[in-house]
Amino acid sequence: MKKVIRLTESDLARIVRRVIIEQEEEMDSVETEIENADENDVKGLERIIDKLGDKIQKMKKHNKFMRMLRKHAMKSPKIKRALMDCEKF
């Protein structure tokens, strides 16, 4: 059985603000992880790609991330796909 709940406009605004803040914090943590990444760590780069998920296109402007993707694109299909995702936008 479905339950109906009522939200006020302020409740909805608070929820939206919280989601936006959480997404920004997640992107900040990923960017920090990229800055601290070893340029030769393919597995580390794959972990970063997994964390980004569908937000990967937003990293197109991050020079170190794009350099790492280009450097290792032939070593991993996951990295090659991520590079293509970034570059098509």
> Tell me: the pLDDT tens digits for 20-76?
898 888 888 888 888 888 888 888 888 888 888 878 877 877 888 888 888 898 989
pTM across the whole model? 0.61
Residue 37 Cα distances to 6, 45, 51, 54, 61, angstroms: 45, 8, 14, 20, 17
pLDDT at 89: 52
Helices 42-52, 63-72: inter-axial angle, 10-degree rounding: 120
The answer to whether the CB of 79 falls within 8 A of the CB of 46 is yes
State how far the Cα of 69 lies from the Cα of 82, in Å rounded to an integer: 8
Residue 18, pLDDT above cutoff 60: yes
Angle CA 29–50–74, to nearest 5:
115
pLDDT at 36: 85
State how far the Cα of 36 lies from the Cα of 21, in Å rounded to an integer: 23
State how far the Cα of 45 lies from the Cα of 68, in Å rounded to an integer: 8
